[in-house]
Amino acid sequence: MTTRSPIWHPFTQHGLEEPIPLVTRAEGAALLTADGRRVIDAISSWWVTTHGHGHPRIAAAIADQASRLDQIIFAGWTHEPAETLARDLVAMMPPALPHVFFSDSGSTAVEVALKMALGFWANRGSPRHRILVMEHSYHGDTIGAMSIGARGVFNRAYSPLLFDVATIPFPAPGQEQTTYDALAAACAAPDAAAFIVEPLILGAGGMLVYPPAVLAEMHRICAALDVLFIADEVMTGWGRTGTLLACEQAGVVPDILCLAKGLTGGAIPLAVTLASDAIYDAHYSTDRALQFFHSSSYTANPIACAAANANLAIWREEPVRERIATLVERQAAMLARLATLPRATNPRQCGTMIAIDIAVADGAGYMADIAPRLLAHFREADVLLRPLGNTVYVMPPYCIEEADLARIEAVIGEVTG
């Protein structure tokens, strides 16, 4: 009999036989393991945990809802947690996005957005099929989401399944006009349906940051040339960039908005895609063939909706924005110190996220040889950091204490000094 786990972990090469810690409990910004370790969660468990692990209000909402209504089909039926959540989301988000479609994850929120955009043009009798994307982007791991992400090691094996897109250059400093010109040219094509972006910061593409003015200009170009604008705020939403939505900083309201991760405070999977009246109205008809054809078995799961309602209550009733502002300041101070270290390059910050690249001689990028060594170093130091190749970033829960931030800084300093 083997003692090896039957689990096939995501983004894990099991052939390397790296240790996989067993986490038994979590609280605040800490993970507690079976062997008695306290591990600082410096990346919010893949960017989902906002208020901290085990927030009592969210945990209580989950427990209460589980005892009353755990699951129900959402096609043609509804329930109070979903109704409350949809209304409160509409009240919290830009008024031009009054329609809420539920799904289960960031990838599915993006798939829904793409299908809404294509359905919009098809149902209006002027079908368009070309999706415009930004270089280095990442939008998930389902087929549609992979198709609109950067082509490379993430999706090379699946390339026969991926549809063609028009790729716009990343707006690197000093090269913004190149981005604008390429976007305008792509939008002018008769088949251009929608442009999808990660606002202000590209996550898995290397924590690449661009300013709000660039986001605003890209939105203006799309509006002027009648191309839908989709904001993928799966990672950037819920305060990560310093504001509730990253789009706020640019004064941008997209036609379609994708939210997930922090929607439930990170406690349980749930996603929404918010749409404008125009998108909804294009699917509104007495003709059943024009309805929006998308769902999953767990669409608007009541327990997940209850968790999200608790999250929204926390945003309304607790000083979340003040906590975020404090974390932004502390992160800025940490980044300033890390930037002085010999191997630290390209220091950057976007709200609660800071990142540096570690100078290497053996290749940079996601598959950089240094990545497994960094991962092992952080794991052995009881800090959950998951480098993107030679890029090390810190994106902790908003409740993290100064002592834990100091420990994270010290551990990063050991590999950049």
CATH number reported for the structural domain that contains residue 373 in this entry: 3.90.1150.10
Q: Looking at 60-64, 151-155, 360-364, which range is the least confident one? A: 360-364
Return the CATH number at 162: 3.40.640.10
Question: Cα torsion for 379, 383, 386, 389, to the nearest 10°?
Answer: -70
- Grade residue 2 by pLDDT with cuts at 50, 70 and 90: low
Residue 367 has pLDDT above 90, yes or no: no
> In which element (H, E) is residue 394 found?
strand 391-394
Residue 279: φ, ψ to 5°: -65, -45
Residue 368 has pLDDT above 90, yes or no: no
Total domains in the chain come to 2
In a domain, 354, yes or no: yes
In a domain, 5, yes or no: no
- Grade residue 301 by pLDDT with cuts at 50, 70 and 90: very high
- Grade residue 366 by pLDDT with cuts at 50, 70 and 90: confident
pLDDT higher at 316 or 417: 316
Residue 299 has pLDDT above 80, yes or no: yes
The pLDDT value given to residue 46: 95
**Does residue 383 contact residue 42 with C-beta atoms inside 8 Å?**
yes
Both 279 and 178 in one domain: the answer is: yes
DSSP string, 343-368: TEEEEEEETTEEEEEEP-SS--STT-
In a domain, 7, yes or no: no
- Grade residue 362 by pLDDT with cuts at 50, 70 and 90: confident
In a domain, 332, yes or no: yes
Q: What is the mean pLDDT of residues 156-178?
A: 95
Report the amino acid identity of residue 50: T
Beta strands in 162-265, from DSSP E residues, in sequence order: 166-168, 192-197, 201-202, 208-209, 228-232, 256-259
Residue 280 has pLDDT above 80, yes or no: yes
On average, the pLDDT of the chain sits at 96
In a domain, 368, yes or no: yes
Report the amino acid identity of residue 408: I
Residue 150 has pLDDT above 50, yes or no: yes
Both 243 and 381 in one domain: the answer is: no
Both 293 and 354 in one domain: the answer is: no
The pLDDT value given to residue 417: 78
In a domain, 63, yes or no: yes
Both 281 and 308 in one domain: the answer is: yes
Both 246 and 342 in one domain: the answer is: no
Both 326 and 217 in one domain: the answer is: no
Both 324 and 313 in one domain: the answer is: no
In a domain, 4, yes or no: no
Both 143 and 195 in one domain: the answer is: yes
Q: Of 292, 259, 325, give the one whose Cα is nearest residue 90.
A: 259
Residue 408 has pLDDT above 80, yes or no: yes
Residue 26 has pLDDT above 50, yes or no: yes
Q: Looking at 60-69, 322-331, 370-379, which range is the least confident one? A: 370-379
Both 207 and 120 in one domain: the answer is: yes
Both 234 and 290 in one domain: the answer is: yes
Using DSSP's 3-state secondary structure scheme, residue 338 falls into helix
Which of the listed residues 293, 317, 341 is the one where a domain comes to its end? 317
Q: Looking at 101-105, 147-151, 364-368, which range is the least confident one? A: 364-368
In a domain, 28, yes or no: yes
Domain that holds residue 245: 59-317
Both 231 and 158 in one domain: the answer is: yes
Residue 1 has pLDDT above 60, yes or no: no
Both 284 and 410 in one domain: the answer is: no
